[in-house]
Structure 1
Amino acid sequence: MTKNIANTAVNDHVSLPDYKRSTLVSRIVHLGFGAFHRAHQALFTDEVARNSNSDWGICEVNLFGGEELVASLRAQDHLYTVAEKGGDNTLVKMIGVVTESLHPEMDGVDAVLEKMAAPETAIVSMTITEKGYCADPATGTLDKSNGLIMTDLANPTSPRSAIGYIVQALRLRRDRGLQPFTVLSCDNIQENGHVAKAVVLEFAGLVDVELQQWIQEQVTFPSTMVDRIVPAATEEMFTEIAELVGVSDPCGIACEPFRQWVIEDNFVAGRPNWNLAGAEFVEDVRPYEEMKLRMLNGSHSFLAYLGYLAGYPFISATMADPAYKQVAFDMMMKGQAPSLNMPEGTDLENYARLLIDRFTNPSLKHQTWQIAMDGSQKIPQRLVPSLQYHLNQGSAFTWQALGIAGWMRYISGQDESGKAIDVCDPMVNELQAICDEHGLNVSVVPALLAVEKIFPASVGQNSMVIDAVSTAYQSLLDHGARTTVAALVPKQEAA
């Protein structure tokens, strides 16, 4: 027998919400209704509702773009599909925990602020990518030269940035005598809660010092570590979901079966029992963040730049190349793992092998181009800290050097066959001006390493780093990415 959702029959194997959606309350306002959130935090919250009498619902907000997505979500009663694609089978779930949605272009800025300031709102969570925090990646402080921040500081009651929205909503709550909400960052940023707190407090101090003090004393900013591979949506994916569900779903998303969420348990106004869905609450998230950022995200970026240059469109395609697969594992274990300080009993080799299996999953079409986006924001978190560790220890940082060289070659805007690369990065104009000045010449290496928003002077101006990255970059020019990566395979492995 078929079941019905949003007045349309769906296939029997689709797992539908088994709770009363009418009892849900929008206790969470989430900024950034993107692919990752749909397959991660929203899914966790949905599973809590399935496993308990939870009334935690989510109001989804897109601050920039995505109006069609919000309109589609509303048209299907805020239901959408998540397809968890393993190597052998696919589980299809209909997520029902989203209660409402807002967009400032569709509903007005005040509607978003009022929802954030509503008495029942206990958490404002975010998946807004690194650049959404408007922070200087080198210092973690508010980037007051950011266009959105400049606009919001001039008119704080009608914000555009996520930071401006949070500060204004907290001002409304304070003025109305309401308790604050928790600000929950779910982005891949090391100590993301600390970064969110720093930029929110600095922004608040520039508009209202008393508000800044109130936020400092009253608001909590727990850090989180999130992990799930969620490829960008494609037409092929939408077609597959339509076949799996029995009806098209423009809000649907596909992802891997693996998921992880480690959360600092520091919530000022309550939280869902996400542990019922497999989340782990801890006192200190930092070791887990560093493990994931360096071993998973660092190797992902390495594979993205060097895979794209080699002509591999997907991560799974790079992993089908034995050299890339071996070098990715070596990077995790020899390049990244030694820089970590993990709790006793953590098995990093097992974690690395799990990552290799996840990257190799042929069911996921995770684009190298997608992972290569926003490199100026990612490299300071994913590659620089471990490189600094090896400098301090006097040990090899071959993999980090090649990863950085691959990024430099990528942002030149031209691939190895001479085709244009669509480089997406908030610093793209500054970076490509440097590349254009030098051309495809190794002289670009010290110029890019001198960009202190990405590379602190202790790294970017270190002669050993300049030499190592220059050598790797020259090899990419002379031999190409595949040959350069293959040269890192230990001889006994190659034999």
Structure 2
Amino acid sequence: MVTRLSRHDLSLPAGVRAPSYDLRDVTVGIVHLGVGAFHRAHQAVYTDTVLAADPTWGISGFTQRSATVRDQLAPQDGLYTVLERGAGAAPPRVIGALREVRTQDEDGGPAARIADPRVRLVTLTVTEKGYRPDAPAVGRLVAGLELRRRADAGPISVLSCDNLTANGATLRGRVAEHCAGLPDGDRLLDWITASVAFPSCVVDRIVPATTAADRAVVMAALGMCDEGAVVAEPFSQWVIEDTFAAGRPAWDATFTTDVAPYEAAKLRLLNATHSLLAYTGALAGYDTIAAAMTDPVLADAARRLMTEDAAPTLTLPDGFDLPGYQDSILRRFADPALGHRTTQVASDGSLKLPIRLLGTARDRLSAGGTPQWTALAVAAWMVYVATRQPVDDPLAETLAAATAGRAKPADLVDSLLPVFPDDLGPSWRELLVEHTARLLHN
């Protein structure tokens, strides 16, 4: 019988990094909503590093949808392995920062934990669709804040770690909207205004889906089975607005008074190019982002989206190495060790594209420019939506109905333009029709 990773046996083989602290000393100071692979490969790793010096920042994690992650990690006492892939990869590392992993319905859910005075921070990775008005995450957060107010448990910070423009301010706005619909919402909102901080941040790490082959590698390294292992690239970045209401962990992150320049660079360069490669790559028959980067036409389009479309719209922080950052993005995307699938990156396009691409298009058009490569990315999404049904998107049914029978490029473009909140004008539509025509006839 194969032994399962757990705190009862952490005598790991040489070459595997174990937690540098006693798990029994760790107490919960963070509640996290959305315990997916990205959180475990990013924020939890940063937190794991600080626990030897300050064990009061352990994480209580709550899943947002299924119980799969709970079922993977609970039998392992919240322990799991981060397996880095690619040039410069570190040895496997076992993370112990997740001291609790629960579903929304267990032990009072996240609301009861948020009300605990020992908790000083709530973090979220609920993806872009987690901030829609009908999504449950914000309601769960507000319920926890209301319990905390009633318990007089003190101030707290709420840190969104999702790819949204001004994610802290956006989350604060969603919370205010939710409070407006509650019977005693005004009183709660007054308390939130006085006692809750919503710092913004920028997160970056490529985290592909874990495969059976990855788990086999981890088993060989540990000599134990790890059902919760995650895979990640060696690169990791976290830029955080340093406005916290109740202290913060001493994360090895970049703390700043203004994350907006970093955010715009990441969304318009890295995330936008990722989407371009996902849709054009999938349409060209490539399974992974790295495979798409072997196509000289697609690789050239990726570089030109950054240099010709996005870069002119950016106001960068002092000392920011723009050419170096662009080169590093392309190197990361081209690394075949990650196996990041185009279909994974292509999910939820109706929510991602306005954040990643339309701002660049709007700014270039306003300046009299022609955002050719940004239009290519959006047109590729349109063709992908029309030809790859069903797509993984919260508007999947709407998109399928809109594109049904739309064989002509102009008809297809006109059927999908209403999905986006902004009308960028006739020249933008013409660019989309031109690219859609070429893509449909390739």
TM over 0.5: yes
CA offset digits 1:227-256 (Å, max 9, x no partner)? 000002222322222223322211110100
* Aligned counterpart, 2:176: 201
Matched ranges for 1:428-467 at <5 A: 428-439=396-407, 441-451=409-419, 454-457=420-423, 459=424, 462-467=425-430
**Displacement of 1:440 after TM fit?**
5.6
2:275 is the alignment partner of 1:301 = yes
CA offset digits 1:31-83 (Å, max 9, x no partner)? 01101000000000011224x34431001111311x13212211112110001
1:376 aligns with one of 350, 360, 366: 350
| Alpha-carbon distance in 2 for matches of 1:306, 1:11 | 43
* Aligned counterpart, 1:163: 138
**Pair 23,433 (structure 1): closer, same or farther in 2 beyond 3 Å:** same
Matched ranges for 1:2-401 at <5 A: 5-8=6-9, 10-50=12-52, 52-65=53-66, 67-87=67-87, 89-105=89-105, 107=106, 110-134=108-132, 143=133, 146=134, 148=135, 161-207=136-182, 208-274=185-251, 277=252, 279-401=253-375
Counterpart amino acid of residue 22 in structure 2: K
**Pair 370,440 (structure 1): closer, same or farther in 2 beyond 3 Å:** farther
CA offset digits 1:287-316 (Å, max 9, x no partner)? 101100010000000000000111111011
CA offset digits 1:366-414 (Å, max 9, x no partner)? 0100000000111111100000011011112000111010000011143
User: 3-state DSSP class of the match of 2:386?
Assistant: coil
Moved more, 89-98 or 221-230: 89-98
Contact 2:89 2:234 in 1 (8 A): no
**Pair 272,89 (structure 1): closer, same or farther in 2 beyond 3 Å:** closer
* Aligned counterpart, 1:417: none
| Alpha-carbon distance in 2 for matches of 1:219, 1:468 | 45
Counterpart amino acid of residue 456 in structure 1: D
Number of residue pairs matched by the alignment: 435
Contact 1:29 1:58 in 2 (8 A): yes
Q: Percent identity?
A: 38
**Displacement of 1:90 after TM fit?**
4.5
**Pair 41,88 (structure 1): closer, same or farther in 2 beyond 3 Å:** closer
* Aligned counterpart, 1:483: none
Contact 1:24 1:57 in 2 (8 A): yes
| Alpha-carbon distance in 2 for matches of 1:247, 1:317 | 32
User: 3-state DSSP class of the match of 1:195?
Assistant: helix
Unaligned regions of 5+ residues in structure 2, if any?
none
| Alpha-carbon distance in 2 for matches of 1:272, 1:253 | 23
Counterpart amino acid of residue 163 in structure 2: N
Unaligned regions of 5+ residues in structure 1, if any?
135-142, 149-160, 415-420, 480-495
Contact 1:201 1:212 in 2 (8 A): yes
| Alpha-carbon distance in 2 for matches of 1:90, 1:439 | 49
* Aligned counterpart, 2:432: 469
User: 3-state DSSP class of the match of 2:91?
Assistant: strand
Contact 2:6 2:75 in 1 (8 A): no
Contact 1:315 1:359 in 2 (8 A): yes
Counterpart amino acid of residue 36 in structure 1: F
Contact 1:287 1:343 in 2 (8 A): yes
**Displacement of 1:441 after TM fit?**
4.1
| Alpha-carbon distance in 2 for matches of 1:244, 1:311 | 34
**Displacement of 1:13 after TM fit?**
0.9
Counterpart amino acid of residue 25 in structure 2: T
User: 3-state DSSP class of the match of 1:343?
Assistant: coil
User: 3-state DSSP class of the match of 2:51?
Assistant: helix
Contact 1:60 1:100 in 2 (8 A): yes
**Pair 470,455 (structure 1): closer, same or farther in 2 beyond 3 Å:** farther
User: 3-state DSSP class of the match of 1:82?
Assistant: strand
**Pair 388,111 (structure 1): closer, same or farther in 2 beyond 3 Å:** closer
**Displacement of 1:263 after TM fit?**
0.3
- Show structure 1 runs of 4+ deviating over 4 A: none
TM-score normalised over the length of structure 2: 0.95
Moved more, 339-348 or 219-228: 339-348
Moved more, 433-442 or 260-269: 433-442
Contact 1:14 1:93 in 2 (8 A): yes
* Aligned counterpart, 1:153: none
Contact 1:10 1:247 in 2 (8 A): no
**Displacement of 1:362 after TM fit?**
1.4
**Displacement of 1:7 after TM fit?**
4.1
| Alpha-carbon distance in 1 for matches of 2:28, 2:55 | 12
User: 3-state DSSP class of the match of 1:263?
Assistant: strand
**Displacement of 1:346 after TM fit?**
1.4
Counterpart amino acid of residue 37 in structure 1: H
CA offset digits 1:148-198 (Å, max 9, x no partner)? 5xxxxxxxxxxxx11111111111111122213211100111111111000
**Displacement of 1:111 after TM fit?**
3.8
Counterpart amino acid of residue 226 in structure 1: V
Contact 1:413 1:432 in 2 (8 A): no
| Alpha-carbon distance in 2 for matches of 1:379, 1:357 | 23
User: 3-state DSSP class of the match of 1:231?
Assistant: coil
TM-score normalised over the length of structure 1: 0.85
Contact 1:384 1:455 in 2 (8 A): no
User: 3-state DSSP class of the match of 1:91?
Assistant: coil
